[in-house]
Amino acid sequence: MISFSQVNKRYPGGFEALKNISFSVERGEMVFITGHSGAGKSTLLKLIPAIERPTSGSLLVSGQNVGAMRPGAVPYLRRNFGLVFQDHKLLFDRSVFDNVMLPLAIGGFETREAARRARAALDKVGLLEKERAYPITLSGGEQQRLCIARAVVSRPSILIADEPTGNLDSAYASEIMDIFRAFNQVGVTVLIATHDEAVLERMKPRVIRLARGALLP
Amino acid sequence: MKGWIVQHAQAMGFTLRRLVRAPVASLLNILVMGIALSLPAGAYVLLENLQALSGQVNSAPQVSLFLALDAARSDVEKTEARLKSHPEVKRYRFVPRDQALADLKRNAGLADVVESLKQNPLPDAFVVDARSGAADALERLSRELRQWPKVEHVQLDTAWARRLDALLQLGRLAVLALATLLAFTLVAVTFNTIRLQVLTQRDEIEVAKLIGATDGFIRRPFLYFGALQGLAGGIAAWVVIGAFLALLNGPLSELSQLYAASLYLRHLPLQDSLSLLGFSAWLGWLGAWLSVSKHLQQVNPA
């Protein structure tokens, strides 16, 4: 489903973020990417939805070469993904419900069907009773769950989360991880970057380790 | 198809909310555009009214032919026969001298003066409609008529009308130049408004891009905004011109009563009004498009 082959990423200025990365992720897998800060986890995840482009090597997603994709096709590629960000990237000028509606508006869903889906997504992350609230009034864990609801509302086949539990205490963190596992159990491919070793101990998933931009065996 | 309509409806609703959320800024923008547009459009309205006025006075190619005072009945008939067979003459009307005097008496309150005359000072005359309105053709015709026997005087009635036409033409050119200049103003105002909007909505645009919004989707509400604001500016211009005309028409009707004429300034006809609104909406759209195309590139998620 996702396959990296000899991917390098050098940022302007010469910093080499990723060196010769090769691995692949099958459909329905749940994979953790770990490493210290600056090891290249975020860069790796940004390559998949073409937020950053590889400098060399090839990156295939569902058979499409993402590295060479023309800009006009990128939005359609991104609709296959649900993206969860460490800083949530919520829109604070609109309600919880409207935040979740955004991907559906982009996808051109009919309003009533979209509202039904948005409520279902909010229900899954336990925020249904807060749909009228504004994100600023939510706790950190709730904001992260809202971000997940927004990521899954358009039913993507791949979930990508960059440090989803980075700012959360361990109780919230395991709650968030349980949500990801639930999505994985219904067939969604999940990629999570984390430096939280406790989570790995508990879940025993497949782990890809990065150090200074290279894969560790 | 349905999704497409839904997306456009949503973008429209979104745009309207955005306009309403900043009422003072929107209102000021609309006023600036309205005033900028009302200058050329107002000048155009005045020109059209002048044009209509000169049309009323008759600007058809006409030549008046006056016979000598001592012309006999037979001379009149001879001249009439020559006019009838002349290829350049479309139509003619004979005005006998007695009728001309009677007209004069009735027309302009000159009855007393006319009564005091011992004899009729007016000659027999023909009013000739020429087949061609071209200036040189008319000139040639009048020169030829002047050579005929017993013809005292030939006058081109259209000279002043054509002079007015030439002036109006010049005025129209000036209006066009003014409109072009002020159209740039409108585009610039929209450009700047949209630039500010793109900057304040950076986060939103960034998130939308991250979750798969096409550039078209992101651009759409801005384009709607520009077009809508332009349209509102056009409506403002229309209203400004209307108010201006209403203001002028009061004194004008008093003035025209003094001259026993009816002068009245008309607003733009329906078709021109729609053109004005369409054009201003298009300019707004253009400004928004230029702005959003330029500034969208600067908002890239990372």
Domain assignment present for residue B302? The answer is no
| Alpha-carbon distances of B130 from A121, A189, B126, B182, B226, rounded to whole Å | 83, 89, 12, 42, 52
Same domain, B76 and B198: no
The residue of chain A with its CA nearest to that of B301 is A51
CB contact under 8 A, A110 and B209: no
pLDDT of residue B14 exceeding 80, the answer is: no
* Per-residue pLDDT, B301: 66
B185/B288 same-domain check: yes
Residue with tokens 């800083």: A87
Residue B282 in domain: yes
Rounded CA-CA distance B43/B70 in Å is 51
Q: Match 């729609």 to its residue by tokens.
A: B274
Name which residue leads in pLDDT, B255 or A160.
A160
Residues 125-154 of A with CB under 8 A from B: 150-151, 154
- Inspect the interface and report whether the beta carbons of B301 and A51 lie closer than 8 Å: yes
Q: What is the spatial order of strands in the sheet that A189-193 belongs to?
A: A81-84, A158-162, A189-193, A30-34, A206-211, A214-216
Residues in chain B closer than 8 A to A106 (CB atoms): 208, 211-214, 217
Pairs of residues, one from chain A and one from chain B, whose beta carbons lie less than 8 Å apart: 61
pLDDT at position A147: 92
| Chain B nearest C-alpha distance from A60 (Å) | 18
Q: Do residues B189 and B146 share a domain?
A: no
Q: For position A59, what pLDDT does the model report?
A: 92
**Same structural domain, B174 and B40:** yes
- Judged against a pLDDT cut of 70, whether residue B31 lies above it is answered with yes
Structure letter (DSSP) for residue B192: H
* Boundary-marking domain end, from B125, B157, B189: B157
* CATH code of the domain containing A140: 3.40.50.300
Give the three-state DSSP class for A40: coil
Q: At what angle do helices B23-57 and B2-21 cross, to 10 degrees?
A: 100
Number of domains in chain B: 2
Cβ contacts (< 8 Å) between A91 and chain B: which residues? Answer: 203-204, 207
Q: Determine the residue among B2, B5, B204, B211 to mutate to test chain A binding: the one whose Cβ has the most chain A Cβ atoms within 10 Å.
A: B211
Which candidate, A143, A146, A136, places its Cα nearest to that of A97? A146
Structure confidence at residue B129 (pLDDT): 82
Band (A120; pLDDT cuts 50, 70, 90): very high
- A111 contacts in chain B (CB < 8 Å): 6, 10
Rounded to an integer, what distance in angstroms lies between the CA atom of residue A156 and that of residue A84?
Answer: 12
- Give the mean model confidence (pLDDT) for residues A5-34: 90
Q: In angstroms, what CA-CA distances link B282 with B89, B183, B187, B233?
A: 49, 10, 9, 11
Question: Which residue in the set A83, A93, A111 is minimally distant from B211, CB to CB?
Answer: A83
Whether B301 maps to a domain, the answer reads no
Token pair for B267: 């607003």
Among B131, B157, B183, which residue terminates a domain?
Answer: B157
For CA atoms B35, B36, B37, B42, give the dihedral sign. positive
What angle in degrees, to the nearest 10, is found between the helix axes of B2-21 and B215-258? 60
CA angle A187, A189, A191 (to 5 degrees): 150
Q: Is A63 left (phi over 0), alpha (psi -120 to 50) or beta?
A: left
Helix (H) / strand (E) element for A32: namely strand A30-34
Of B115, B131, B157, which residue constitutes the final position of a domain? B157
Residues B17 and B111 in one domain: no
Q: What is the pLDDT of residue A30?
A: 92
Q: Do the chains contact at A102 and B217, CB–CB below 8 Å? A: no
Find out whether B93 and B126 touch, Cβ atoms under 8 Å. Answer: yes
Which chain B residues contact residue A72 at CB under 8 A?
A: 214
Residue B140 and residue B8 share a domain: no
What number is the average pLDDT over the span A2-25?
Answer: 89
B267 to chain A nearest CA, in Å? 43
Give the SS3 label for residue A95: coil
A197 or A13: whose pLDDT is higher? A13
Asked if residue B91 is part of any domain, the answer here is yes
Residues 6+ apart with CB under 8 A from B207: A89, A91, A102, B301
Cα end-to-end span (Å), chain A: 21
Residue B232 inside a domain? The answer is yes
Mean pLDDT confidence for A24-38 = 90
Minimal Cβ distance to B204: which of A72, A79, A91: A91
Give the pLDDT confidence score for residue B59 in this predicted structure.
Answer: 52
User: Nearest Cβ partner of A76 from B6, B10, B212?
Assistant: B212
Name the burial class of residue B149, with classes exposed (0-12), middle (13-18) and buried (19+) by CB atoms within 10 angstroms of its CB.
Answer: exposed
pLDDT of residue A133: 92
- pLDDT score, position B260: 62
The answer to whether residues B212 and B286 belong to one domain is: yes
Per-residue pLDDT band for B134 (boundaries 50, 70, 90) equals low
Residue B107 pLDDT: 63
**Boundaries of domain holding B230:** 2-57+164-296
Looking at the structure, tell me whether residues B193 and B242 fall in a common domain: yes
d(CA B83, CA B126): 9
Strands (E), B96-230: 125-130, 151-156
What is the C-alpha separation between A38 and A41, in angstroms, rounded?
A: 7
**B243: pLDDT strictly greater than 70:** yes
Query: Is A8 part of any domain?
Result: no
pLDDT for the residue numbered B147: 86
Q: What is the pLDDT of residue B274?
A: 93
**Interchain pair B209, A75: CB under 8 A:** yes
% of chain B at pLDDT higher than 90:
20
pLDDT over threshold 90, residue A118: yes
The torsion angle over the Cα atoms of residues B237, B241, B243 and B248, rounded to 10 degrees, is 160
Mean confidence (pLDDT) of chain A: 88
* A45, closest residue in chain B (CA to CA): B302
- pLDDT on residue B15: 79
**Binary contact (B211, A109; C-beta < 8 A):** no
Q: Which amino acid is at B54?
A: S
Chain B closest-CA separation from residue A27 CA (Å)? 21
- Following DSSP, what letter does each residue of A166-189 receive, concatenated? TTS-HHHHHHHHHHHHHHHHTT-E
> Does A80 score more than 70 pLDDT?
yes
Query: H or E element: which one contains B91?
Result: strand B89-95
What are the chain B neighbours of A107 within 8 Å (beta carbons)?
Answer: 3, 212
In a domain, A62, yes or no: no
- Give domain status of residue B21, yes or no: yes
**A5 within some domain:** no
- Looking at residue B60, its pLDDT comes to 61
Spatial separation of the C-alpha atoms in residues B8 and A77, rounded to whole Å: 22
The alpha carbon of residue A37 is apart from the nearest alpha carbon of chain B, in Å, by 17
In a domain, A109, yes or no: yes
Whether B193 and B231 map to the same domain: the answer is yes
Q: Looking at the structure, do residues B22 and B145 belong to the same domain, yes or no?
A: no
Q: What is the pLDDT of residues B39-83, one digit of tens each?
A: 999 998 888 888 777 665 555 667 888 888 888 888 888 888 888
Is residue A101 scored above 60 in pLDDT? yes
pLDDT of amino acid A170: 79
What are the pLDDT digits (tens) for B140-174?
888 888 888 888 888 876 666 677 778 888 988 99
Residues in chain B: 302
- Based on the domain organization, do B142 and B281 belong to the same domain? no
B179 and B281 co-located in one domain: yes
Instruction: Answer yes or no: do B3 and A83 touch at CB < 8 A.
Output: no
- Within an 8 Å CB–CB cutoff, is residue A111 touching chain B? yes
Cα separation, B83 vs B90, in Å, equals 9
Distance from CA of B7 to the nearest CA of A (A): 6
What integer pLDDT is reported at residue B57 of this predicted model?
55
CATH code for position B119:
3.30.70.3040
In a domain, A162, yes or no: yes
Containing domain of residue A92, as a range? 27-50+74-216
Distance from CA of B285 to the nearest CA of A (A): 22
Residues of A in contact with B18 (CB under 8 A): none
> Does residue B244 lie in a domain region?
yes
Q: What is the dihedral of CA B31, B36, B41, B47, to 10 degrees?
A: 130
Average pLDDT over residues A111-115: 88
Total tally of structural domains belonging to chain A: 1
d(C-alpha A185, C-alpha A120), whole Å: 17
- In B, minimum Cα distance to A49 occurs at B210
The length of chain A is 217
pLDDT digits (tens, 9 = 90+) for A121-179: 999 888 999 989 999 999 888 898 999 999 999 889 999 999 888 777 778 888 888 88
